[in-house]
Amino acid sequence: MLPMLHTPSRHRESGLGVRIEGVRRQFDNGVVALDGIDLDVASGEFLAILGPSGCGKSTLLRLIAGLDKPQGGNVFTMEASHGKADRHGLGTRADIAYVFQDAHLLPWRNVLTNVALPLELMGIGKKVREESAQRAIEQVGLGDAADRYPNQLSGGMRMRASLARAMVTEPRLLLMDEPFAALDEITRQRLDDQLRALWAALNMTVIFVTHSTIEAAFLAQRAIVLSSRPARIVEDYVLNLPAERTGSIRSTPAFARETRVLYQALERNEV
C-alpha cells in the first residue's frame, strides 16, 4: 500500500471522511473535555472548528488523529467511495497528517530532511522520499530554503516547512490545530491563501481548529462552534460564500456578514 502513496494518480482518490459518534473524553485529573460529541465530516470537506480557548478543540483533533482514545463513543474515518468505515489502527495512519500550533521541526535537521521525516519513519527509501520532500517544499513556496536549518528561518517559513511536512505523505485528511495563530497578520493571510489553494487543488479533507472567525470564514465551507468545557457543538453552520475564494473576498459585505454570524455564535457561548 505504501508505494501507491507516491504515484501521481494518488490525488484522484477522495479525501477521508470522519464520523464521530457520542464521543466522551475525560482526563486523568477528572476534567471532562468532551461529552456526547456527534459529528460527520464529508469526504473532501473543509471544516473549521471554533470555540473558546481550552474548550477541547485540540482534544477532538487528537482523537480524530488516533493520538488519543475516547472513553466512550466511536471515531471512524470513512472511505467515501464505498462508505466503508475504518477504525484507527488499520494501516490508515499515513492518510492522516497533523499540523501543530507551532512548527515543531527537528532543529538538528534541515528543511529537506525535516519534510522527508514522515516518509523516513514509514520506511520509504532515501531517493524517493527526498524527491517527494523537494516537491512538497516547492508546493509551499520554500524552494530555495531546502538546505537551511529551522533556526535560520522566520516564523512564517518554519510554518511553511511544517505544512510541507504534513503534505509530503499526500494525506487524505489534514488536521490543523491553530497552525497560524502565532504568526503576524500578513504572513497568516498569505498562508491561509496558500492552504486554500492546496485544498482546492488536492482532493483532501481538512479540519482546521482556529479561534479566528475571519480565518474560519475565509478557509472553510462549514464551521462548527464548540461551547466551553465540557465541549458540545452549539452551532453547525454552512458558510454562504462562493467556492472560489481569493484574498480579496475578505473585504466584501458577504464575508463580513458570515464572519458576524460565527462571531455571534461564539459570543453566545462565551462564559
Give the nearest distance from C-beta 193 to other proteins in angstroms.
Answer: 25
Cβ-based nearer residue to other proteins, 96 or 133? 96
Cβ-based nearer residue to other proteins, 121 or 254? 121
Give the Cα-Cα-Cα angle 245, 247, 253 (nearest 5 degrees): 75
Give the distance, in angstroms, between the CA of residue 185 and the centroid of all CA atoms in the same chain: 19
Taking the C-alpha atoms of residue 121 and residue 208, their distance in angstroms, rounded to an integer, is 25
Give the nearest distance from C-beta 100 to other proteins in angstroms.
Answer: 5
Contact set with other proteins (CB under 8 A): 62, 65-67, 93-94, 96-98, 100, 102, 104, 106-108, 117-118, 120-122, 149-151, 169
Cβ-based nearer residue to other proteins, 51 or 118? 118
Give the distance, in angstroms, between the CA of residue 217 and the centroid of all CA atoms in the same chain: 15
Give the nearest distance from C-beta 94 to other proteins in angstroms.
Answer: 7
Give the nearest distance from C-beta 48 to other proteins in angstroms.
Answer: 21
Give the nearest distance from C-beta 107 to other proteins in angstroms.
Answer: 4
Give the nearest distance from C-beta 65 to other proteins in angstroms.
Answer: 6
Cβ-based nearer residue to other proteins, 20 or 94? 94
Taking the C-alpha atoms of residue 97 and residue 207, their distance in angstroms, rounded to an integer, is 11
Amino acid making up residue 180: F
Strand partners, 32: 26
Taking the C-alpha atoms of residue 223 and residue 194, their distance in angstroms, rounded to an integer, is 19
Question: Which among 185, 245, 251 has a CA at the least distance from the CA of 218?
Answer: 245
Cβ-based nearer residue to other proteins, 66 or 73? 66
Query: Cβ distance 97 to 173 under 8 Å?
Result: yes
Cβ-based nearer residue to other proteins, 103 or 223? 103
Question: Which among 71, 74, 75, 73 has a CA at the least distance from the CA of 31?
Answer: 71
Give the nearest distance from C-beta 157 to other proteins in angstroms.
Answer: 15
Cβ-based nearer residue to other proteins, 68 or 79? 68
Task: Give the three cell numbers for residue 252.
Answer: 466584501
**Separation in Å, CA 23 to CA 9, 38, 70, 176, 230:** 35, 7, 6, 20, 11
Query: Cβ distance 236 to 49 under 8 Å?
Result: no
